[in-house]
Every structure is written in structure tokens, then in C-alpha cells.
Amino acid sequence: MKREADEKEYRQDLEALLQEAGEILANTEQNLVLLEKTPSDTALIQEVFRAMHTLKGGAATLGLEDAVAVCHGMETVLDEVRSCQRSITSEMMDGLFQVLDWLRDWRSALGEGTKAPDSARILSVVRTVQGTADYSADPDSPKPPEAPPGKAKTQDLTAILEATASQGGSIHVLTVRFRTDAPLLSVRCFQVRTLVEEVAEVAGSMPSLDEIENDEASDTLTLFVVGDKEADEARRVAATVQDVVEVSMRKYVMNATVDGPSSPSDMSHVRVEKTALGKTVRVDVALLDFLMNMVGELVIDRTRLSQIATKLTSCGETAAVGSEINSLASHLQRTSSELQEGLMRARLLPLKSIVGKFPRMLRDLSQRCGKETVFTMAGESTEMDRTVLEAIDDPLIHLLRNAVDHGIEMPGERERLGKPRAGTIRLSAWHEDNQILVRVEDDGAGIDTEKIRRSAVNKGLITEEASLKLTEHEVTELIFLPGFSTAAVTTEVSGRGVGMDVARQNLERVNGRIEMKTRLGEGTQVTLRLPLTLSIMRALLVKCGEETYAISTSSVEEVFSLKDQAVGSVQGKTAMNVRGRVVPLVSLKGVLRDSPWQRNGARYALLTRTQDQPMAIGVDDLLGEEEIVVKELRAPLSRLRGVAGATILAEGDPAVILDINRIM
């Protein structure tokens, strides 16, 4: 039983380390990209040093010696940089990036339970960056002195404190307490000590640094901080570390013992500052999905109850009962709406949770392609449903790769054209109405539509005759055809013909769409239009024959009664006049049945837009607007073109949710 408990505890500690390591590595990658551009930024150097220091401590706690050796090597180099003993070089940056890649592979292997990557090659890289040989494996190399017994350490610390105090130094005892059940206490102690050392001189600690590295830490850390103002700042930064529940401060008293708790006479100097427990918790995604499904059922019942109340209110003798039920339904609506909104917020994640890797990716791609680029981001804090966020990850990678490989010209060519040597690539995101827009734009060569047309014809994707009838916008749309590529040679960056069509498919799966604008010689702009959430949405219920369909209100700009509209024909195609503008008109019944315009039964027209082009859809009847719960369809139904999912109506009947953009 003890062995099982030990294994469980080790696994919990490992999972905590892996979670923290993931965040540290993501932040470090961004910091390294910035550091390469501003190598004199001491704050960035300190951040990267702290990351290596923290990872080393976490790995040492669990006995993961390979990662300890790798992190310690780079920690030593960075310590020399921050102490101005050496400068940052391109070789050093390349080494740091390679260490980061190795640590990421190491973390993945630990998480998956597979063999960790060999550390021999990366340690060779570290030694090269250090500029020194590795004597750790030499049996004749000098060994560090044995650590003295605990009492001797206490005596040494007391001597240091007395000497500092006798020279006029003001010493404060900073006591930091952690949650007793907090994992990786040694790592937390490392973090607190490192943060405090940045703002104040630390004369010593209990446990000592050696003891912390040997995983001899408890839920209490005592630091002896020099300086009055520095002590206040030290108390503040210590309180910011995860799992800290209490921070206290007192003046150090000469000749007082330091190997036990404070005596009552010392307490007059104590200032206690309680820190709030973490305001966030980790929640399993499956639990969020379950709760959202339950809220969905609640929304259906809420709508049904409102309809019953409305019927009863209009029925004479039962009017009073109906009124009471109506009041109950209204309260249920408010409560369920607030619950729904809260759960939807819980599913939201900021865009920055996936874009952190992009600066590094573009740096490497630019170097590989021999190009110079400047990458900027805006709106990283824009939040969206986690499912949407996952769906746009690959499309954004494709778009950014294309911007480097196909969009940005070589430095010499840009200079010849009067452009800066470095091309600009920008990723931005923002809210617009009830949608989220994510845009990738560059100031590169733009897209040659004639080249696209010829390539599509040569690949047999379209006939020569048909290609000549296409507008410039329609030619650009050919990029999204499966198998399309203009690359003469397939490279590891792009040109495999599996990019833009996959990007569009990923977006359509989450009811999003992609729009492209380009100007030859000036650049390209690609915009992703995405829904705020996938679980519950506002929909317009329409009739087509005997069937009821749901259409997202975000896809409908306006509704017209066809009896008030002049419907005619333009070049053999049905159209209607909308405030002086001719808009193509198609029948939903005709589209679904793959037949021409069918006016019979069509009473209303929904004005929608596809690829910035207006289009009207004729439907037989309107049943009203309603909040619906989106149910995901499984294969083979999920492969039906133009079907975004299904829902259960208030009456209990199922209805198909149409993806109007895909249908058009």
C-alpha cells in the first residue's frame, strides 16, 4: 500500500511539474524571441535565467538528472550574462533555442510515459555555448565539500547575520508559508528565493539553498532579508508565488536564535500579510462539456415552459395559472441565462494561449527561407470558445507559413522594389458584433491571380473556358480547392497543396469562414470570421416544405417579404432588388434539392453574405427567433455539406442547423 501511495504522490508531483513546465517553456520561448532582438534587456535575461533555475529545481525534486544537467548548464551561462561577464551572441541564442526544444521533447516524453530524449547531444550544445569542457564525468575531478551537519549550518548562518547586523545592516525575517498539500514545495521555495533575491539582498535562508536543492523543503521558508525598503518589496513579491497562503515579517533581534520559532517577545515586530488563495482552478474539459450539455437541456425546458405559459394565459379560466407559470418561466429564464453565461465564460480562452509559439516559428521559418521579417501581434487577449481556438490553430499556422514562404519577398528584391528589407507580418484579433475576427496580413508580393488561373487549369481543377469567365475574386477562391498549389518545388515549409483547403475545412467545422483580399505587389490579407461560442446560439427557425431548419442569426443581415419585392431575372439567373442593388436570389428548397429556383411556397427572403458578396435565400415561412442548443453530429452525418449540426426544438422535435456560408 505504501508503494502505491508513493507512486501516486510521485505521479501527482510529476503532473504538477509538467503543467508548470509547459507554462514556463511557452513564456521562455516568447522571451527568447524578444531577447534576440534586444540582447541588452536585463529584465528578459533575468526572466530566462529564472525559468532555467525553476525548471532545474523541479527536475531535481523528482530526481530527473538529465534535465537538471541541461538547465544547470544554461543557468550558468545566463548567470554570467546577467553579471556582465559575457555578452549574448547568435551562437548562444541558437543554443538556448535548442535547449528549449529539448526540454519540450523531454516534457512530452514524461507526460506520455515514453523514453526521454537522449541528453548527450544537447549537453554537447550546452558545453559549446559555455565554451568549457564537461568534467562532471571525470572521477578525478574535484568534488564539492560535504555539506556540514544542520547545526553547523545554523551556526554559520547566525554568524553571518550577526556580522551583517553589527555593520549597521537592518535585517528582517521573512517567513513564507505554503499550502501543506502543495506539490513541489522545493520548487516553490526556489521561486520565492529567486524572486526575493531580485529585489533585496538575502543573507541566508532556512532551509538553505543546498537543502532546497536536495528536496529538504517543508511548507515553511524563512528568508533573512537586508534593508527596510527592500524587505517590504520582498514581502510583496513573495506573496505572488502560487500556493503561498501566508507571508509574515519581523525584525531580526541580535543574539536571538534562528533555529526555532519566534519567541513571544519577538512578536511586537511581526507584520502579517495574508495572501488570497488562487483565484483560478484547473477544470477538466470533459466536466465543462457535461455542464454545458446540462445547461442546454435547461434552455430547452425553459423555452417549452414559456410556450406552455403563453397558451395557458390566453385560456380564460386557466389564465391565472398561466400567469403564475409565466412568472416562474421568467425567473427560470433569468437564472438559466446567468448560468449559461457563466459556463460559456468558463469555456473561453484568450488567443494568446495558442499564439505564443508563433514568434519562434516565424523566426525559424524566416531564417530557413533566407528572409527578414518583423512579426507583430495585437488582440492576443481576445477570448473565444476553446473548441474554436483549437480549430483555428492549424489554419493560422498554414497562413503564417504561406506569408513567409509565398508572401514576403527576399531582402534584395524588397530593396529593389523600394520596400524595407524586412517584411511585416501582422496577426490581430477583435470582436465585431457577435463574431470574432482573426486576421493575418503581410506587405509582401500579393497573389498573382493569372498565375493561379493557369495553375488551376494545368492541374485539371477547372477548364480553360470556365477559367476565363471567372472574376478576380472567384480566381482567388481557387486557392481553397483541394490539391491546389502554385509552388514549382515542394518544400518543407509549404507547397504541398494541403494547406488552404484544410484551413477552410477546419473553420467550417466550427461554423467559421475565411475571406481573402490581395493586391499584387502590396500584400495579402486573410480574415477568419468565427462564432463566439459553439454550444448555444441564437437562430432563426424557417420552414422549407414540411421541414424546419435553424439558421444562425449571425448569417442573416435582413429579412424581406417576397410579396413586397420585385423578383426578376438577370442573365438567366433569379435576382431581387434591394434598395437599388441587384442581389442574386436562390431558393433554399432548390439548393437542398439541387434544382433551379422554386418560387412555389417561398414567402420570405433572407439577406445573407458569402465572401463579401450579398445573396438572398428564399424560404417558405418564418417561425421566429429562438435560442437553440447545438448538438454535434457524428459521421456520416457530420460529412454532409452545409449541415452545421442539429438541435432539439421546444416541442421536442429535432431540426437540422444549416451552415449558410457552406451552402452558398
- The number of C-alpha atoms within 13 Å of 132 and in the hemisphere containing its C-beta is 8
- Compute CA distances 214 → 181, 186, 250, 653, whole Å: 19, 8, 28, 64
Cβ–Cβ under 8 Å, residues 222 and 206: yes
Active site residue 53: yes
Residue for cell digits 518583423? 374
Active site residue 402: yes
Cis peptide before 261 (omega within 30 of 0): no
Cell triple for residue 47? 526572466
Alpha helices in 183-227 (DSSP H): 185-199, 209-213
- The number of C-alpha atoms within 13 Å of 305 and in the hemisphere containing its C-beta is 19
Nearest of 75, 65, 59, 69 to residue 18 by alpha carbon: 59
Extended strands (E) in 311-451? 348-350, 373-378, 383-385, 423-432, 435-442
- What is d(CA 508, CA 392) in angstroms, rounded to the nearest whole number? 10
- The number of C-alpha atoms within 13 Å of 642 and in the hemisphere containing its C-beta is 10
Q: Out of 31, 326, 402, 661, which one is annotated catalytic?
A: 402
Q: Out of 36, 53, 441, 627, which one is annotated catalytic?
A: 53
Crossing angle (nearest 10°) for helices 358-369 and 2-37: 50
- What is d(CA 448, CA 409) in angstroms, rounded to the nearest whole number? 14
- The number of C-alpha atoms within 13 Å of 412 and in the hemisphere containing its C-beta is 1
CA 319 from chain centre, in angstroms, equals 52
How many CB atoms lie under 10 A from the CB of residue 70? 24
What is the rounded radius of gyration, in angstroms, for the C-alpha atoms of the chain?
Answer: 32
Alpha helices in 376-497 (DSSP H): 386-402, 411-416, 449-458, 464-468, 472-477
Active site residue 75: yes
Q: Out of 20, 36, 75, 409, which one is annotated catalytic?
A: 75
Cell triple for residue 262? 519566534
**Rounded-to-10 torsion of CA 488, 494, 497, 500:** -130
| Percentage helix, strand, coil for the chain under 3-state DSSP, each rounded to 5 | 50, 25, 30
- What is d(CA 194, CA 214) in angstroms, rounded to the nearest whole number? 16
Cβ–Cβ under 8 Å, residues 400 and 493: no
Cβ–Cβ under 8 Å, residues 250 and 173: yes
Bridging pattern class, strands 573-578 and 567-570: antiparallel
- Compute CA distances 143 → 128, 130, 136, 150, 163, whole Å: 23, 20, 9, 20, 29
The residues annotated with a catalytic role in the active site are 53, 75, 402
